[in-house]
């Protein structure tokens, strides 16, 4: 496990802004609100990040289950939009139930769903090296790929494409071997979870975006990665298509990370709400926003 600081996470995001949509900030400074309940009635659809908004690791964040119940009481549509690549819509409902959330399968979209759709269009996958544990919900689509975890991170000569799917089980030594075996070569780069770090308990742990960025920085990869999760538009487009939303300004994206949730939501024309209960829990949020140059529409301490 690699533990990161919020500052190091933001610096790594900032070094790779060319991977993401252009920054488009709201016209006014962010408005402070006490919770989602203050503004939820203004929107036709509420999109919610998962880690740092609803939960930290396996525990629900205080007030999150009550906020979901209030959305149901007021009949306001919502959808969890997560960069989780260990969960697809088939198993999402069961995963969230132990945390106290009663989500239906059609109330969750993950970057794994988007990744699986892309992989299902490929006629050949044996040139792809994938970072994923040997048991994974997408095994039926990964079976012809080189499982880099089982190679201790060493990239075989037959691989010309790298898929960073999930960091579960990925070690520092595997990352060292990946970097070493990639030197002097260029690869197509795919990433299921673009997050660089995610809150788990009291720590921020490295996620696939970190391992990709580390590889790119150390081996001078030239290809722009193909992203299957936030802040890329594809996952947001899937959510609004599901709910038949015509006016993006009537959508609110709620997240805890400026470079994924807020940047991506702003670029889509959504309004955005940044929560301070996730990756920036102990940070001065005004300083973080100023340093990033990415601003939400609203700020709240929690959901």
Q: What are the structural domains of the chain?
A: 25-110+232-300 (3.40.50.1000), 114-227 (3.40.50.1000)
- The pTM of the full predicted model, rounded to 2 decimals, is 0.92
User: Which secondary-structure segment (H or E) carries 60?
Assistant: strand 59-60
What is the end-to-end Cα distance of the chain in Å, rounded? 28
Which pLDDT belongs to residue 194? 95
Closest among 204, 271, 191, 284 to 235, alpha carbons compared: 191
Q: Is the dihedral of CA 175, 56, 296, 241 positive or negative?
A: positive
Q: How far apart are CA 260 and CA 33, in angstroms?
A: 21
Omega before residue 228 within 30° of 0, cis: no
CB distance 61 to 54 below 8 Å: yes
- Give me the residues of the chain with pLDDT under 50, please: none
Give the pLDDT confidence of 97-121 residue by residue, as tens digits.
888 998 988 899 999 999 999 999 9
Mean model confidence pLDDT for the chain: 93
Q: How far is CA 24 from CA 16, 27, 263, in A?
A: 16, 9, 7
Which pLDDT belongs to residue 286? 94
Which pLDDT belongs to residue 3? 82
Q: How far apart are CA 102 and CA 29, in angstroms?
A: 35
Give the burial class of 32: count Cβ atoms within 10 A of its Cβ; 0-12 exposed, 13-18 middle, 19 or more buried: exposed
CB distance 74 to 296 below 8 Å: no
């Amino acid at each position: 496990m690699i533990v990161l600081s919020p500052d190091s996470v933001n610096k790594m995001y900032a070094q790779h802004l060319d991977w993401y949509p252009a920054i488009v900030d709201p016209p006014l400074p962010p408005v402070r609100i006490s919770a989602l309940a203050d503004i939820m009635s203004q929107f036709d659809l509420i999109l919610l990040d998962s880690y740092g908004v609803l939960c930290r690791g396996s525990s629900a964040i205080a007030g999150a289950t009550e906020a979901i119940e209030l959305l149901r009481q007021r009949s306001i549509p919502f959808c969890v939009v997560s960069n989780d690549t260990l969960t697809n819509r088939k198993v999402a409902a069961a995963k969230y139930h132990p945390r106290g959330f009663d989500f239906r399968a059609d109330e969750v979209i993950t970057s794994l769903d988007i990744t699986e759709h892309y992989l299902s269009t490929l006629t050949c996958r044996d040139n792809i090296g994938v970072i994923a544990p040997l048991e994974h919900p997408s095994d039926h689509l990964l079976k012809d790929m080189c499982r880099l975890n089982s190679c201790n991170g060493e990239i075989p000569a037959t691989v010309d494409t790298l898929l960073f799917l999930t960091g579960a089980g990925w070690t520092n030594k595997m990352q060292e071997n990946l970097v070493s075996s990639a030197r002097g070569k260029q690869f197509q780069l795919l990433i299921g979870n673009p997050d660089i770090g995610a809150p788990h308990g009291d720590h921020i742990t490295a996620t696939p975006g970190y391992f990709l960025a580390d590889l790119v920085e150390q081996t001078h990869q030239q290809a722009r990665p193909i992203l299957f999760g936030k802040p890329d538009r594809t996952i947001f487009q899937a959510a609004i298509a599901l709910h038949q939303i015509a006016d993006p300004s009537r959508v609110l994206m709620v997240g805890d990370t400026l470079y994924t949730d807020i940047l991506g939501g702003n670029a889509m024309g959504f309004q955005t709400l940044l929560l301070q209960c996730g990756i920036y829990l102990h940070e001065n949020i005004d300083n973080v926003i100023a340093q990033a140059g990415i601003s939400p529409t609203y700020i709240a301490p929690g959901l």
